[in-house]
Amino acid sequence: MLRVGLLGAGRIGQVHAVNITGNARSTLVAVSDVIEEAAESLAAAYGAQARSSASILGDPSIDAVLIATSTDTHSDLIEAAVISGKAVLCEKPVDLSLERAKACLDKVANTVTPVMIGFNRRFDPSFSSLKAASQRGEIGKSELLSITSFDPAPPPVSYVKVSGGLFRDMMIHDFDMANFLMGTRPVTVRAVGTSIVDPEIGQAGDVDTAVVTMTYDDGRIAVIKNSRRAVYGYDQRVELLGSEGLLQAQNMLENTVVKSTASGVVSAKPTYFFLERYMPAYAAEWEAFVDAALSGAPMPVSLEDGVAALAMAEAATQSARTGQAVEVAYRIQEFPSA
Amino acid sequence: MLRVGLLGAGRIGQVHAVNITGNARSTLVAVSDVIEEAAESLAAAYGAQARSSASILGDPSIDAVLIATSTDTHSDLIEAAVISGKAVLCEKPVDLSLERAKACLDKVANTVTPVMIGFNRRFDPSFSSLKAASQRGEIGKSELLSITSFDPAPPPVSYVKVSGGLFRDMMIHDFDMANFLMGTRPVTVRAVGTSIVDPEIGQAGDVDTAVVTMTYDDGRIAVIKNSRRAVYGYDQRVELLGSEGLLQAQNMLENTVVKSTASGVVSAKPTYFFLERYMPAYAAEWEAFVDAALSGAPMPVSLEDGVAALAMAEAATQSARTGQAVEVAYRIQEFPSA
Amino acid sequence: MLRVGLLGAGRIGQVHAVNITGNARSTLVAVSDVIEEAAESLAAAYGAQARSSASILGDPSIDAVLIATSTDTHSDLIEAAVISGKAVLCEKPVDLSLERAKACLDKVANTVTPVMIGFNRRFDPSFSSLKAASQRGEIGKSELLSITSFDPAPPPVSYVKVSGGLFRDMMIHDFDMANFLMGTRPVTVRAVGTSIVDPEIGQAGDVDTAVVTMTYDDGRIAVIKNSRRAVYGYDQRVELLGSEGLLQAQNMLENTVVKSTASGVVSAKPTYFFLERYMPAYAAEWEAFVDAALSGAPMPVSLEDGVAALAMAEAATQSARTGQAVEVAYRIQEFPSA
Amino acid sequence: MLRVGLLGAGRIGQVHAVNITGNARSTLVAVSDVIEEAAESLAAAYGAQARSSASILGDPSIDAVLIATSTDTHSDLIEAAVISGKAVLCEKPVDLSLERAKACLDKVANTVTPVMIGFNRRFDPSFSSLKAASQRGEIGKSELLSITSFDPAPPPVSYVKVSGGLFRDMMIHDFDMANFLMGTRPVTVRAVGTSIVDPEIGQAGDVDTAVVTMTYDDGRIAVIKNSRRAVYGYDQRVELLGSEGLLQAQNMLENTVVKSTASGVVSAKPTYFFLERYMPAYAAEWEAFVDAALSGAPMPVSLEDGVAALAMAEAATQSARTGQAVEVAYRIQEFPSA
C-alpha cells in the first residue's frame, strides 16, 4: 500500500484525490494547500489529514507525493521530495523556465528516487491504444503525425499573461504526445501563431491559434494544431500515417445518441473539457505511477520527458517570434531517444 | 449490341432510358407510352422512335423490352414479349394479384425467353457487398436478418387506394431483399400494421407502419420494418447477424460534411428517395440484364422471384388482417431454394 | 448519509459495493452472503462488516438494503426489508414466477417503504438522453420502437435451465426499456424464438434468438431482437421513429481508434459486456436511488415496473410456445400508464 | 447546345468525353490526340470525328475546347483557342513554369474569351457544401484551415522527374482548394518535405511527403498535408475551424457496409483514387463550364486562379529547399482577392 501526500488541493488536486483513494494499492494520508481551508475540506472528504507541505515532506511514513501546486513551485518541491526520498508525481510543466527545469533535472539526475511528470494524455485509452498499434507495426513505419488539440474556450487574459504562453501552457501536452507517439524527439521546430480568437491575447504578447511543424532525424514530420477555442467542445485528435496505413484517435462523445430530422443528422458533442475527457486517463496515470513506485520499475514518464517538452515549447515560442526554423536545444547526452 | 424497346415513359422509364443509352452494349430504339407526348419527348431526347407497344413487340429487330408501364399491364406485356421472343426486364411487382402473377408464370414457364424482374435493390453496391460478404462466410452462418425500410413521405391517399397496400407496394422490395440475403424463402409470416402516420390511410384500408417477422425451415428469423414516413429521408438499412459477426449496410448520405457547433455535431441526411439512393443500382441492374441477355446466362432475378415476393406480401396482408401467423403458399416445385 | 446493507457479495454485489462506497451520500455498513468468505472479503475491502442477512434487516441503524442475491430470494427479501422499514433497491427480476411477484407487490402495496427495481439500463447516459429528447418532442410523436440487445456469448446450458428462459432472464431488460421509452405498456405481444446459436439450449426448452413484436393501445408498435451471441461484443442499441425524426442510441466502443489499411477501415469493438457498458449506468442508478431514499421522492423504477416487465416476459414465453399473439395480463388497476 | 472539341484522348480526356456527351446542353464534335488511334477510338465511341488540334481550333462551328493534353502544351493551346474565340476549359496546371503561365495570362488578359482552369475538386459535392456552409456563416468567421490530401500510391520515379515536383503536380490542387475555401490568397508559405516513402523520389530531387503552412493578411492560418502514399486509398479531407464551429469534409467510402466480428468493426475503404472519388465532381465541373459558356457569366475558376496556385507551388518549392518562409509573388494588381 502506497501512502501518499497530496500537495495542492485545487481542481486538479481534487481529481487526483479521488484516484488515490479509489485505487486499492494507495491511500491518501495528508493534503496541503496554501489555502488552509481547501486542504482541510479535501482532507476531510477522504479521511486524510490537512498538514503543511514541509510536514508532509518530512514525514518518513509517507511514501510518495503528488505535486499539484502552482507551476512556480514545481521544481522546488520536486527537489525537496527527492531529497526526502519520496516517489514523486508532479503535474506538468516542470517549470515555465527551461533553465530552472534543467537545473532541477541536474539536481536529481544522480538520485534513485523516481520522478514522474503528469502527462496524463499518454494514459488516455485511445492514445495509448494508438501507440500500441503503432508499436505492433500495424501501420508499418510511421511517417507523418498530426495532432489536433483545441480547447473549448480561451482562458481569461489575466491567466494568459502568467501562463508562459500557448506553447508552454497548452501545446506542451502535444509536444509530449508527439514524443510519446514518435518514440523520439524532433530536431527542428517551425511555428506560426496568431491571436485571431481574441486580440487581447495578442496584446498580452501571446497567440491563441498556432501550427507547429517538426522534423526528425529520420525524415519523419509532425504537425500540431492548437486553438484556444472550439465552441463544440474539447477537440483532441491524433492521426499517424505510416507506410501501411493510418491510425486515428477520434474524440470521445458525450453519449451515443444520433437524432435524424428534416434538418440533418445530429450526434452528441465531444466531452466538454479535460476533466470529462481525461478522467479515465488520470485514473490510469495514477495506476501506472503506483505500479512503478511499488515495483521499482522506471517511471513511464520521466523528468527528462518534462524538460524535453519544455525545450520544444521554448523553440516554438522563439520560432513564432522570429519566423525562422529553430533547432531544439536538448542536452543530448541526457535525452536518449525514448 | 442489345436493341431495346422501352414500354412506359414515366418517371421510372426515364431512369431506365438514361441507363440503356449510357451502356456501351445497349441502344434505345423505341419508346411507347399511353400518353403519346411522353413517348415522343423521351424518344427525341435519346435519338429513339416513339411507337406503340404493339409495334415494338412486333418488331423483330428489337431484342429486348423494358416494361415500365402501370402494374396492371405487367403480366400481359410479359406474356406478349415472351411470345415474341424478346428478353424482358419488367418493373416490380409482377401483378397486384398473386393469382394473375402465378398464371403468368405458368404461361412462360416452359419458354426459353429470359425474363427478369426489376428488384433493383439487389444491385445496390452496399446490399450486394453485404450479400457477397455473407456468402464468403465472413460472419459464419447467418441467423437473424433485420431490414429497415422507411420512405421519406407517404404517398397521396388516392395512390394508396390503388396500390395494393403497403405489403404489396412497398414491402415487396424488402421481401425480395430477404430472399436475396437469406438465399431461401420463409415458411411463416407474422405481420402487425398500423396507420399511425396518417389515419386516412387506415380509412382507406391500408397501414402505413408495419413490422413483419418471418421464420425459416432451418430456424433462422427475419424481421422487416416499414414506415411510409421518415422525415429525414429514405432510410434503407440491413443487418445480418451470424455465428461469427454482424453485417450492416447503412444509409448513403448526401455528402460527407460534418458540422460541429455549440449545438451539436451535424451530418448530412440520407439521400432523399429511391431516385437518388438507387441510381447506381439501376445502372448496375441494367448492366446485369444486358450481361444475361447477351450471354444467355440465367437472369439474376427471375419471374419466380417476383411471384415469391408477391406470395409473401399476400401472406403478410392476411396476417396483419387476422392477427395470426400465416404459412406462405409457394408452389414449392416451382420455387427451388435460390 | 444513507447507511446501506448489501445482501449478496457476488459479481453484481461487488459492482454495487464500489458505487455505494464512492457515493458521497451513502456508506456501506454491512455485507451478507450465503458464502461467508465472500461477504467477509468484500466487507474488508470497503471497511464494512460481514453479517447475516437477518442481522442486517434487523439493524435499525441501517437505512437501506441493496438486494443482489439469487433471484429466488428476491421477493422474500423485499418483503422482509419493507417490513423492517428499509428502503430497497433490488436487482431484477422480482421473481421468476409472475404469481410470486404479484403476491410480493400485493404485500407491499400499502406500505410507504420505497422499493426500487434495478433496471440499470434506464440510467445509461445514451438511453436516458434518448428518452429525454423524445420527451422534449424532438422527434414529434413516437411511432415505432426497435431494441437490439445481443449478449456477447451464451451462458452455460446449466444456467439456462434455471434462468427462467430468455424472455424472463434476458429480454426482461428490453421489456422494461420499451416501457421506459414508450411511457406505457403494450397490450399484445407476439414472439418467435429459435435455438440456432446452440441446439442444446433448445433441448433445455429455451431459445437463444428471438424477436418480439408488441402493439399499443394508441397504434404504436415496438420490436425487440435478442440473441445470446454477438461475437463482436455486447450489442445494445435502440431506435425510436417519430413523426418528426429518428432517435438512435448506438453502441459505446472500447476506444476511438480507427485504423485504415489496405484491408479496410477498422474501429474498436463495442464494450464487451454489461460490466463495461453499464458501469456508468450502475453509478447513476445508485445516485438516483440515494436521491429518492433521502428526499422521499418516488423511486424512479417501481416494484410495479418490475412486475410489468415480468408479465410481458410471461406473455412472450407463451406466444413463442403457441405461435399466437398474447394479450398481456397486467392487473390494470395497479399499473397506471407510466 | 455547346459544340465541343476535345484536345487529348488520354485517361482524363476520356472522363471528359463521357460528361460532354452525357450533358443535355453540350455535344462532342471532334477529338484530337498526338496518338491518332487514341483520338479515333474515342471519337468513334461517342459519334464524334477524329481531327487535328489545328483543324479543331480553326473550325468556326466549334464553340468550346477542352484541353486535356500534356502540361507543356497547355499555355500554347489556351492562347490559340482564345485567339480563335473558343471558350476554354483547360486541365491544371496552366504550366510547370510560373513565368510561362504569367505570360499566357498577360496574353489573354484583355480578351473577352472565357477561360476556365480545371480545378475539379471545387465541384466535389462535399467540398462545395462545406464552402457554402462557411459562406452562410454557419461556423462564424473562419480561422484555421487544414487540408489532408494523400494519394493511394506514388507515381513511377520516371513520372516524378518530369512532374515539376510534388508542390506543382500534386499539392497544386490543395493550394487552389485553400484559395477556394479561404476566399483569398496567402501572403507567406512555409514548407517542409521529405522523401520517406521512396528514397528514389528524393534522389530525383523531389519529396513525397510534405507539410505546408500558410499565413494570411487577416491573421488566419492554413496547413496542407500531402503524402504520395496512403495504402488504404485516396484520402481527401478538409477541416475549417471558425469562431462558431468546425466544418469537416470526410472521405467517400466505397460502400456503406460495416462488418463487426471478434477482431473488430470494419468499414469500407475510401474510394480508391481521383477517378472514383471525383467522378461526380468532373460532371459538375462540366455543368458549371457549360452554364458559364452559354450564359456569358464569369467562369467559376479563372486563369488567374490557375496562375495563383502555381505561384504558391513555386513558393513552397523554394521554402522546402531553403528552409525559410517565402512570401508569395502574385502580381497583386492582377489577382484581386477572390
Q: Is A203 exposed, middle or buried (0-12, 13-18, 19+ CB in 10 A)?
A: exposed
Determine contact: C256 vs chain A, CB below 8 A: yes
Q: How far apart are CA A64 and CA A115, in angstroms?
A: 10
* Confidence bin at C331 (pLDDT 50/70/90): low
Determine contact: C322 vs chain B, CB below 8 A: no
Look at residues D244, D89, D95, D119 and name the one whose alpha carbon lies nearest to residue D180. Answer: D119
Same domain? For D91 and D168 the reply is no
Same domain? For B146 and B235 the reply is yes
Same domain? For C14 and C99 the reply is yes
Residues in contact with B264: Cβ distance below 8 Å, sequence separation at least 6, in sequence order: A232, A266, A267, A268, A269
Q: Which of these ranges, B160-169, B285-294, D322-331, has the smallest mean pLDDT?
A: D322-331
Query: Across residues D13-17, what is the average pLDDT?
Result: 94
Same domain? For D127 and D218 the reply is yes
Query: Across residues D184-196, what is the average pLDDT?
Result: 97
Q: What SS3 string covers A227-284?
A: ECCCCCCCEEEEEEEECCEEEEECCCECCCEEEEECCEEEECCECCCHHHHCHHHHHH
The C-alpha cell at C153 is: 456469448
Q: B113, B86 in Cβ contact below 8 A? A: yes
Domain C-terminal end among C113, C141, C166: C113
* Confidence bin at B337 (pLDDT 50/70/90): very low
Determine contact: C230 vs chain D, CB below 8 A: yes
pLDDT in tens, A177-235: 999 999 999 999 999 999 999 999 999 999 999 999 999 999 999 999 999 999 999 99
Look at residues B218, D262, B142 and name the one whose alpha carbon lies nearest to residue C202. Answer: B218
Query: Across residues D199-211, what is the average pLDDT?
Result: 97
Report how far Cα C163 is from the mean position of its chain's Cα atoms: 14
Residues in contact with C138: Cβ distance below 8 Å, sequence separation at least 6, in sequence order: A259, A261, C244, C245, C247
Residue B105 DSSP SS3 = helix
Residues in contact with D251: Cβ distance below 8 Å, sequence separation at least 6, in sequence order: B256, D233, D234, D235, D236, D237, D270, D271, D277
Flag whether pLDDT at C337 surpasses 60: no
Domain C-terminal end among C79, C95, C113: C113
Query: Across residues D121-141, what is the average pLDDT?
Result: 98
Q: What is the pLDDT of residue A85?
A: 95
Contact across the interface for B192 and C215, Cβ inside 8 Å: yes
* B interface test, pick of D256, D267, D271 with most B CB neighbours within 10 Å: D256
Q: Return the partners of chain D (3 or more C-beta pairs < 8 Å).
A: A, B, C
Q: Tell me if A80 is assigned to some domain.
A: yes
Q: How many CA atoms lie within 13 A of A33 on its CB side?
A: 20
Name the minimum distance, in Å, from the CA of C296 to any CA of chain A: 25
Contacts of D197 in chain A (CB under 8 A): 143, 243
Q: Tell me if D21 is assigned to some domain.
A: yes
Q: Tell me if D284 is assigned to some domain.
A: no
- Determine the Cα angle at B20 with ends B5 and B14, to 5°: 80
Q: A93, A164 in Cβ contact below 8 A? A: yes
Backbone angles phi, psi at A287, to 5 degrees: -55, -45
* B interface test, pick of A258, A265, A267, A272 with most B CB neighbours within 10 Å: A265
Contact across the interface for C209 and B143, Cβ inside 8 Å: yes
Give me chain D's average pLDDT, please.
Answer: 94
State the Cα torsion B164-B168-B169-B174 to the nearest 10°. Answer: 170
Q: How far apart are CA A194 and CA B206, in angstroms?
A: 63
Q: C17, C43 in Cβ contact below 8 A? A: no
Contact across the interface for D259 and B247, Cβ inside 8 Å: yes
Same domain? For D167 and D78 the reply is no
Determine the angle formed by the axes of helices B279-295 and B125-135, rounding to 10 degrees. Answer: 60
Percent of chain B whose pLDDT exceeds 70: 98
Q: What is the pLDDT of residue C47?
A: 77
pLDDT in tens, B46-91: 879 999 999 999 999 999 999 999 999 999 999 999 999 999 999 9
Determine contact: D260 vs chain B, CB below 8 A: yes
Contact across the interface for B245 and D252, Cβ inside 8 Å: no
Q: In what order do the strands lie in the sheet with C2-7?
A: C49-50, C26-32, C2-7, C64-67, C87-91, C115-118
Cis peptide leading into B93, omega within 30 of 0? yes
Determine contact: D187 vs chain A, CB below 8 A: no
Flag whether pLDDT at D117 surpasses 70: yes
- Determine the Cα angle at B159 with ends B155 and B160, to 5°: 80
Nearest CA in chain D to C153: D262
* A interface test, pick of D213, D239, D247 with most A CB neighbours within 10 Å: D213
Q: D88, D117 in Cβ contact below 8 A? A: no
DSSP state, residue D65: E
Residues in contact with D254: Cβ distance below 8 Å, sequence separation at least 6, in sequence order: B125, D268, D269, D270, D271, D272, D276
At D73, which CATH number?
3.40.50.720
Same domain? For C155 and C181 the reply is yes
Same domain? For D212 and D264 the reply is yes
The C-alpha cell at D36 is: 491518332
Determine contact: D170 vs chain C, CB below 8 A: no
Determine contact: D269 vs chain A, CB below 8 A: no
Q: What is the pLDDT of residue C68?
A: 97
Q: Tell me if A99 is assigned to some domain.
A: yes
Cis peptide leading into D93, omega within 30 of 0? yes
Look at residues A39, A91, A40 and name the one whose alpha carbon lies nearest to residue A67. Answer: A91
**Cross-chain CB nearest to B196 (options C210, C220, C230):** C220
Query: Across residues A11-15, what is the average pLDDT?
Result: 93
pLDDT in tens, D282-319: 999 999 999 999 999 999 999 999 999 999 999 999 99
Contact across the interface for D211 and A223, Cβ inside 8 Å: yes
The C-alpha cell at B33 is: 407510352
Contact across the interface for A261 and C244, Cβ inside 8 Å: yes
Q: Tell me if D85 is assigned to some domain.
A: yes
Percent of chain C whose pLDDT exceeds 90: 91
Q: How far apart are CA B70 and CA B90, in angstroms?
A: 11
Look at residues A177, A193, A1, A189 and name the one whose alpha carbon lies nearest to residue A92. Answer: A177
Q: How far apart are CA B160 and CA B201, in angstroms?
A: 7
Determine contact: B112 vs chain A, CB below 8 A: no
Nearest CA in chain B to A266: B266
Determine contact: D190 vs chain A, CB below 8 A: yes
Determine contact: B243 vs chain C, CB below 8 A: yes
Q: Tell me if A291 is assigned to some domain.
A: no
Q: How many domains does chain D have?
A: 2
DSSP state, residue D189: E
ipTM score of the complex?
Answer: 0.94
Determine contact: A185 vs chain D, CB below 8 A: no
Contact across the interface for B138 and D261, Cβ inside 8 Å: yes
Q: How far apart are CA D12 and CA D89, in angstroms?
A: 13
Q: How far apart are CA C94 and CA C76, in angstroms?
A: 10
Sign of CA dihedral B299, B304, B308, B310: positive
DSSP state, residue D332: G
Q: What is the pLDDT of residue C338?
A: 37
Contact across the interface for C255 and A22, Cβ inside 8 Å: no
pLDDT in tens, A245-300: 999 999 999 999 999 999 999 999 999 899 889 999 999 999 999 999 999 999 99
Q: How far apart are CA D176 and CA D308, in angstroms?
A: 8
Contact across the interface for A192 and D190, Cβ inside 8 Å: yes
Q: A35, A41 in Cβ contact below 8 A? A: no
Query: Across residues B293-318, what is the average pLDDT?
Result: 96
Most distant CA atoms of chain A, gap in Å: 66
**Cross-chain CB nearest to A143 (options D196, D239, D241):** D196
Give me chain C's average pLDDT, please.
Answer: 94
At B304, which CATH number?
3.30.360.10
**Cross-chain CB nearest to B257 (options D248, D258, D268):** D248
Same domain? For A109 and A178 the reply is no
Q: How far apart are CA B213 and CA C223, in angstroms?
A: 10
Q: How far apart are CA A140 and CA D233, in angstroms?
A: 16
Q: How far apart are CA A208 and CA A226, in angstroms?
A: 8
Same domain? For D141 and D104 the reply is no
**Cross-chain CB nearest to A227 (options D143, D190, D325):** D143
Flag whether pLDDT at C333 surpasses 60: no
Q: Which residue has the cell 429497415?
A: B148
Q: D42, D31 in Cβ contact below 8 A? A: yes
Most distant CA atoms of chain B, gap in Å: 66
Contact across the interface for B230 and A260, Cβ inside 8 Å: yes
* Confidence bin at A311 (pLDDT 50/70/90): very high
Same domain? For A152 and A234 the reply is yes
Q: How far apart are CA B52 and CA B327, in angstroms?
A: 42
* Confidence bin at A331 (pLDDT 50/70/90): low
Integer Rg of chain B from CA:
20
Contacts of B131 in chain D (CB under 8 A): none
**Cross-chain CB nearest to D220 (options A196, A246, A324):** A196
Determine contact: C237 vs chain D, CB below 8 A: no
Backbone angles phi, psi at C329, to 5 degrees: -95, 80
Flag whether pLDDT at C296 surpasses 70: yes
Domain C-terminal end among C88, C113, C138: C113
* C interface test, pick of A254, A257, A271, A279 with most C CB neighbours within 10 Å: A257
Q: What is the pLDDT of residue D338?
A: 37
Contact across the interface for C227 and B241, Cβ inside 8 Å: yes
Contacts of A232 in chain D (CB under 8 A): 245-246
Query: Across residues B279-304, what is the average pLDDT?
Result: 96
Q: Tell me if D286 is assigned to some domain.
A: no
Q: Tell me if A293 is assigned to some domain.
A: no
The C-alpha cell at A221 is: 514530420
* Confidence bin at D91 (pLDDT 50/70/90): very high
pLDDT in tens, B91-150: 999 999 999 999 999 999 888 899 999 999 999 999 999 999 999 999 999 999 999 999
Same domain? For D251 and D217 the reply is yes
Contacts of D253 in chain C (CB under 8 A): 265
Q: D287, D116 in Cβ contact below 8 A? A: no
DSSP state, residue B270: B
Q: How far apart are CA C319 and CA C296, in angstroms?
A: 40
Q: How far apart are CA C337 and CA C335, in angstroms?
A: 6
Q: What domain range is D139 assigned to?
A: 122-273+299-334
Flag whether pLDDT at B234 surpasses 70: yes
Q: How far apart are CA C266 and CA A139, in angstroms?
A: 12
Query: Across residues B219-228, what is the average pLDDT?
Result: 98
Chain C, 25 to 64: residues with Cβ < 8 Å from chain A are 45
Same domain? For D73 and D151 the reply is no
